[in-house]
Structures are given as C-alpha cells and as structure tokens.
Amino acid sequence: MGTYSLGDAARILKVAPSRLRYWERTALLKLRAELGTRPGFEFRDLVCVKAILQLLDHGVPLRRIRRSIEILREEMPDLDDPVGSLRLWAEGSERVVVQRDGVLIQPDGQLVLDFRGASDALREVTTLEHDVPTGGGVDDAPTGGAIEWFERGCRLDSDPETFAQAIAAYEKSIEIDPHFADAHCNLGAALYNHGRRAPARRCFERCLELESRHVEAHFNLANLLEEEGRNEMALRHYRAALDADPFYSDLHINLALLYEKLGLARRARDHWRRYLQLDTRGAWADVARQRLEESKS
C-alpha cells in the first residue's frame, strides 16, 4: 500500500495542509510511515484523519478527542489504532466511544448502558476519564479555549460565505492565546482570502516571530511578496519554508516558477524534477514534464 505526503493527504481529505501539520506536530496524529526523511501518511492514517474530521463535524471538541486518544494510548497501549477506533455513541450525540472485546468505552466520565440493537444483553460502558468539557458544532460558538476556536476557524475558512466567521474565530483564539502561532498563520490566510492583504502580512510575520520555521507562514508570506513584485524577499521565504520541509511539493512549484521569472533556468529545472519525485500525477506534474521537455530543445 502506498505512502502519501502531507500535501497528498490534504488533497485527498479536502483539508488544509496547515491543519494536518498542526495535528502532526502536536501528536494528535502519530504517523507510522517514512517518506524520505519525514513521516508520511499510510492509508490507515488517512482513515484516522477522516475519523477526527467526522467527530469534529458532529460537534465533538478537539480537546475531548485529544484527551480521549491520550487516555487510550495510556490505558490500552496494545490498541493498535486508538484514533481510528473512535466513534460517536449515537446519531445526534457528542459522546465518543471505542468498542473492544464487546465492551464500549466512552470518554465522558459517565456510566451508560447500551440499549441499542437486537441483543438481549446490556453492555456496560467502561469509563476512562472524567471532567472533559463539552463543546458545540460548527454553527455554535465554542465554549472551550484557543484550540476550539482555532478548529472552528479551520471548519469555516474554506468557504467565501464564512470567511468573516473564520476570521472572528481565529481572532478569538489569538485573544485567548496570543502565542498560538498556527492561529496567527491561519488568520493571515483567511484575511488574505478576504482581500485584506496588509493585516494578512502582519499575521504571517507575527507567526514567524513566534515560530521561525513555520512552513505555511513562510510559504504564504512568500506568495504575498511575490505578488507585490518583491521577488528576492519572496525567494528568501520560499527557501526558508523549503529548509523546514523539503517534501512540501507545492513549494517546488512556486520556486520553479519564480526561478523562471528570474531567468535562472537551471535552478527552475531542479525544482521541476524534485516536484515530479514527490508528485507524479495531476496538472502540475504535466506542467513540470512539459517544462523539462522544453528545456532539452
């Protein structure tokens, strides 16, 4: 079975790469495959991400999901896939359960009996944790902290009709935790998509003050600078992003195009080749092959 890059996983699951990178960096996801010198996504890792997204879509707060996973890893170290094992208790419920050996384990601290199904037996739900706060869905304001507001922003920032709500969510996240680098970066991207370029740039710069190797902040700031014609400064930020993550395929596209613009054909070819090593399918792979073929003539 194949191994997928972070960019591949983001495209397959229709989720922002920055969101996956945040989950990986904070150990919500523990990737098991190797892709070059960095972790890659196996198919079962994609299943885990899908499980998390479904729980979030049903209003389960990320803090509860994270705490549930931590408890499962601690209490059941032999459980092969704690993330992918999480399920909703029932439609319309925010309870998270795991079934193992005929026993349902739920992470909300209450003893519950399962009356569902045709079985005559009642199955006891074993409690793993207590005092985990509850939260709302996409249409409800979170009652938790910076992470809940951040996740709300992530669910809203891909639709132009909800850009303003996403911006407000990220701003609230930063109000609660001013040092939340990912929230500054995502706020910058949402502001940029909303046509507010100057505050977007300040957000990317603030993110880099907090985390100097933040890939998306370097990448987004470089994009913005290149659009302003500040190519040398853009190039520095693209290179900084590449130094932090040489397997971020979109970086190689942007670097190749910028090097072409600067008349540095050999360097452009190097990045087209590197892009094809990372991604052999799709429109940009066709462009890369065309550029390399043209360079032979």
| pLDDT one-digit tens code per residue, 95-145 | 666 666 655 565 543 434 343 443 333 333 333 333 333 333 444 555 568
- Please report how many Cα atoms fall inside a 13 Å half-sphere around the Cα of residue 195, on the Cβ side: 2
- Cβ partners under 8 Å of residue 244, min gap 6: 213, 214, 215, 218
- For the entire predicted model, the pTM comes to 0.70
| pLDDT > 90: percent of the chain | 39
| pLDDT > 70: percent of the chain | 76
Domains and CATH numbers, the chain: 146-284 (1.25.40.10)
| pLDDT one-digit tens code per residue, 258-286 | 999 999 999 999 999 999 988 888 889 99
Integer Cα distance of 106 and 291 in angstroms: 54
What token pair was written down for 14? 């229709």
Integer Cα distance of 185 and 220 in angstroms: 8
pLDDT at 95: 63
As a whole number, mean pLDDT of residues 163-181 equals: 95
3-state secondary structure of 39: strand
